[in-house]
């Protein structure tokens, strides 16, 4: 009887510890992940996505050029009505993700060719292995129900998620795709760890990209290769999850490379 009571007590303690650690990590993560809907068309999907954010412990829903919310969206949102009604509205996709370090496009289309790197995919599982939720500011971007994200929008992103499916019909419903990716996020939710170093911010990552572009121009890198190369570099940097300390070291190196083009020794690129 004693051993049985002790066993139940241990199980209860483990459960309470798990709930505490999970809740703490969830609270920390909730400020660091947003869901962005680009020109959503179906009210039911918009409402269902708001409900999913509530399920996942998130609250930051952003809508780019979406319709006014109607009764169907409100009905589908259930416990996420407040999230739906307080969703941020944008007319520019770029502005909607300006504060994010990792901007992850989602699409049913993919390529396995290294040359067509805009749509080189990772699965939701692999994405959360690379970008552990809780420290980096992450935007999960979902496109139009009819035709998804445009190439110009994907170029702004520095990560690309593809959910595996039947090759004959790989297109998931918008809210279903959101649920799969958020479920994988919760599976990867770490216990809160104050010793994890702070990552570089989205603004700092763009400063790195800007310096690299400046170097490429100074050294005569061909203009026709510039855009694709910068997109590739942006995605490599996003996967590397650069810390704040690493950002300053890398910027120091890039400034050193640019030193020959200082004001006193200007050379035409």
Query: Residues 237-256: pLDDT tens digits?
Result: 877 778 888 889 998 999 88
pLDDT digits (tens, 9 = 90+) for 148-204: 999 899 999 999 999 998 988 989 999 999 999 999 998 887 654 445 567 788 788
Cα separation, 151 vs 171, whole angstroms: 17
Q: Show the tokens assigned to 141.
A: 């971007």
End-to-end CA distance of the chain: 82
**Residues 132, 189: contact at Cβ < 8 Å?**
no
Q: Nearest CA to 199 among 253, 156, 245, 250?
A: 245
pLDDT in tens, the chain (269 residues): 444 455 677 777 767 776 777 777 777 788 899 999 999 999 999 999 999 999 999 999 999 999 999 999 999 999 999 999 999 999 999 999 999 999 999 987 765 545 555 556 889 999 998 887 667 899 999 999 999 999 899 999 999 999 998 988 989 999 999 999 999 998 887 654 445 567 788 788 888 988 898 888 888 888 888 888 888 888 788 777 788 888 899 989 998 888 887 654 554 44
DSSP H/E element including 141: strand 138-142
What's the angle, vertex CA 245, arms to CA 242 and CA 251, rounded to 5? 80
Q: Nearest CA to 267 among 213, 227, 235, 219?
A: 219
């Amino acid at each position: 009887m004693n051993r049985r009571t002790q066993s139940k007590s241990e199980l209860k303690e483990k459960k309470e510890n798990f709930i505490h650690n999970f809740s703490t990590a969830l609270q920390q993560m909730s400020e660091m992940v947003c869901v962005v809907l680009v020109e959503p068309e179906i009210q039911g999907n918009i409402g269902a996505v708001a409900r999913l954010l509530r399920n996942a412990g998130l609250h930051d829903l952003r809508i780019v050029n979406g319709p006014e919310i109607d009764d169907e969206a409100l009905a589908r949102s259930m416990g996420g009505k407040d999230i739906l009604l307080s969703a941020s509205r944008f007319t520019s996709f770029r502005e909607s993700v300006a504060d994010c370090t990792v901007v992850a496009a989602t699409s049913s289309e993919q390529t396995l060719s290294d040359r067509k790197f805009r749509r080189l995919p990772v699965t939701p599982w692999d994405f959360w292995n690379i970008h552990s939720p809780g420290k980096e500011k992450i935007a999960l971007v979902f496109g139009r129900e009819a035709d998804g994200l445009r190439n110009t929008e994907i170029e702004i992103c520095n990560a690309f998620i593809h959910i595996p499916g039947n090759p004959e019909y790989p297109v998931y419903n918008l809210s279903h795709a959101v649920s799969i990716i958020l479920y994988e996020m919760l599976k990867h939710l770490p216990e809160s760890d104050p010793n994890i170093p702070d990552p570089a911010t989205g603004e700092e990552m763009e400063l790195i990209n800007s310096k690299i572009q400046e170097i490429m121009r100074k050294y005569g890198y061909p203009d026709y290769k510039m855009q694709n190369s910068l997109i590739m570099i942006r995605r490599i940097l996003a996967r590397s999850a650069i810390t704040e300390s690493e950002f300053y070291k890398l910027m120091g190196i890039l400034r050193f490379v640019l030193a020959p083009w200082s004001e006193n020794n200007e050379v035409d690129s």
